[in-house]
Structure formats: structure tokens, C-alpha cells
Amino acid sequence: MAAAVWFGIETLALSLADVLTLVLIFARILMLVQRVQDQGRQVIRILPIYETIRRQIETYRAAAEPEATEAPIFRQEIRLEGVGYRYAEAGPWAVRGLDAAIPVGSITALVGPSGAGKSTLADLLMGLTEAREGRILIDGVPLTQGARVAWRRRVAYVPQDPFLFHDSLRANLLLAKPDAREEDLWRALDRAAAGFVRHLPEGLETRVGERGTRLSGGERQRIALARALLQEPDLLVMDEATSALDDATEQQILNALASARGQVTMLVIAHRSASIALADRQISLAPPGALSSSGPQDS
Ligand code: ADP
């Protein structure tokens, strides 16, 4: 700046006032230039983050599920042909070379030791994952792409420890079918051997407590079964509780399954001999993925 003042006065013969005015103007311009430079530096700093986020969005788009199309119509059987699944591209097979048939209206017990692939197979049959090898056919329609996504709406799942909201039994049931009528609710409860609700002082208005803790494990599972049946699913997958249930509770759940026999196709991830005996068919899995499927058995 000193050099500029000297140059202005000595060489260009400007007055001190002119030189100072020019210096003032240049100083302001310099501030603007600095601000532009700061912004530029910020853009350069953000660019790699932007690039990372863009790549992530692309990855998610590539992994996005296909749009649901028409769900396959299930009137005869679900057929598994050489079905294989592994979680990682080059990882070990969780199930492989699986051939089986699940006829409509049957109760199929899925048996095998822990880690044999029962949950993996249940996920495949529910359309949550897609077979990496072989195929699953519903009345001849492969369970792939949009059909697989749509099939999920035709499936109900009762987990080992079902979740109930801290609300009335009615509200918990209506989650499955908000427009269900009173008689639909009672019919589903009766089919799930959950008639105990009739004897509760507040009936359907009984509040179930946080996560359903005011009900016993067996009652919770029967309410969840009723909720699943209310949906009128094509396939009902039930993960039987592994924890010890008393005999009466176990019998109630078996009664519930037996009373729904023939009305809905059921796949029971079975841990107990009683429910295996109740089933019409059995798919047994043995680690590391060898499978045998037996035909109809006396139940
Ligand atoms: P089961 O239900 O009979 O106990 P699973 O289907 O849970 O068996 O598991 C089958 C195999 O797949 C096991 O070897 C298990 O370690 C593996 N597996 C299960 N879930 C995953 C996962 N999310 N990622 C990687 N491997 C898994």
C-alpha cells in the first residue's frame, strides 16, 4: 500500500486526496476478493463430501427394491426348486439345493438345529429376500422382482415374542385390518384359540400394558396369531417360542394352530415335538445346508 501511495504521488503526480481515495476503493475491492476466495475454498473443501453423498445415493438407488406388481395368486402350492441363499457374495451358503412343496392349506413344520437356515428359508418364503440359486414358485409364478415385493402383503408373520402396543386389544388387532368389523375380530380370536378375551372384564377394551406385559407369553402369541389371521394371509409363518412354556400354554397354542388348519397355509418354525406332530409335512434342514423334505405324514 505504501508503494502504491508513493507510486501515485511520485510517478503519476496524483494528489494525496486522490491517492487515498483510490487506496480506500482498492481496500474495499480487496475485501470482496477475499470473501470470494473464502467461498471458493469452502466449495473445494465440501466437494469430496458431496461426491461421497452422491455415490451413496447411487448405491442406495441400485439396491432399492423393485416396485410391487401383482402378487402371485396362491391356490395350489408353493414350490422350491434347488433354492440356495447366502448372505455375502462369496460367503458360505445358509441354505442350498432345497427342493420342497408346500400345498395350500397345509401345516408345514420347518425343523433343524440352530443355524441350519430355518429363518433364512422363512425370509425367502415371505419374499423378504430373493433366492440366489434356484427359484421359488407360487402356483408356477416365480417369486422375483415386483411379484416378490407384492407377495409380502399376502404373508403374515408371528414372531417368537410378538410385539403388542400399550393400547387396547382392539387397537392392537385393528393394526392388521383397520376396517375390520366387530364380528371379524371375534372370529379371528376364536380361530386363534384366544377366546379368553371374552372372559376379561373389559373384553376387547383391555389394555395390554407396555409391550403386552399384562398378558402371559402364550396369550400374547395367540393375540398375535389372531392379528395375523385377521389379515387373511395366503401364508402364515409362525416362529414357535423357544423359551419354556407351561404345558397348558403350549396346548393352547397348538389348539390355535389346529383350529386354523385348512383355512390358512401355515409354516411353523418348530422347536417342539408336539407342533412337529401337528404338522402335515416337514421340511428338515441340517447344517451346513443339506436338506430333505418329506411328504405328507400322519398328524
Ligand atoms: P436358524 O434359523 O435355523 O437358526 P439361520 O437361518 O438364522 O438359522 O442361519 C443360517 C446360517 O446363516 C447360519 O450359519 C448363520 O450364521 C447365517 N446367517 C444368518 N443370518 C445372517 C446374516 N444376517 N448375515 C450373515 N450370515 C447370517
Going residue by residue through the chain (299 aa), what tens digit of pLDDT does each one get?
788 888 888 888 888 888 889 889 988 999 999 999 999 999 999 999 999 999 999 999 998 988 999 999 999 999 999 999 999 999 999 999 999 999 999 999 999 998 999 999 999 999 999 999 999 999 999 999 899 999 999 999 998 888 999 999 999 999 999 999 999 999 999 888 888 889 999 899 999 888 778 888 888 888 999 999 999 999 999 988 766 567 777 787 888 888 888 889 999 998 888 888 889 999 999 775 454 444 433 33
Distance 94 CA to ligand 1 centre (A): 6
CATH code assigned to 77-291? 3.40.50.300
Rounded CA-CA distance 274/268 in Å is 12
Please check whether residue 176 is in contact with residue 231, taking contact to mean a CB–CB distance below 8 angstroms: yes
Q: Which three cell numbers stand for residue 253?
A: 397354542
* Sequential DSSP letters for 186-216: HHHHHHTT-GGGGGSTTGGG-B--GGGTTS-
Please check whether residue 99 is in contact with residue 80, taking contact to mean a CB–CB distance below 8 angstroms: yes
Is the beta carbon of 112 within 6 A of some atom in ligand 1?
yes
Query: Relative to the CA of 113, which ligand 1 atom is closest?
Result: 3
Q: Which three cell numbers stand for residue 177?
A: 385390518
The two beta strands, 107-111 and 133-138, are unpaired
Considering only CA atoms, which residue is closest to atom 5 of ligand 1? Answer: 117
Beta strand spans in the chain (E)? 77-85, 95-103, 107-111, 133-138, 141-142, 155-158, 235-239, 265-269, 281-286, 290-294
Pocket test for ligand 1, best of 87, 93, 239 (most atoms within 8 A of CB): 87
Is the beta carbon of 87 within 6 A of some atom in ligand 1?
yes
Is the beta carbon of 236 within 6 A of some atom in ligand 1?
no
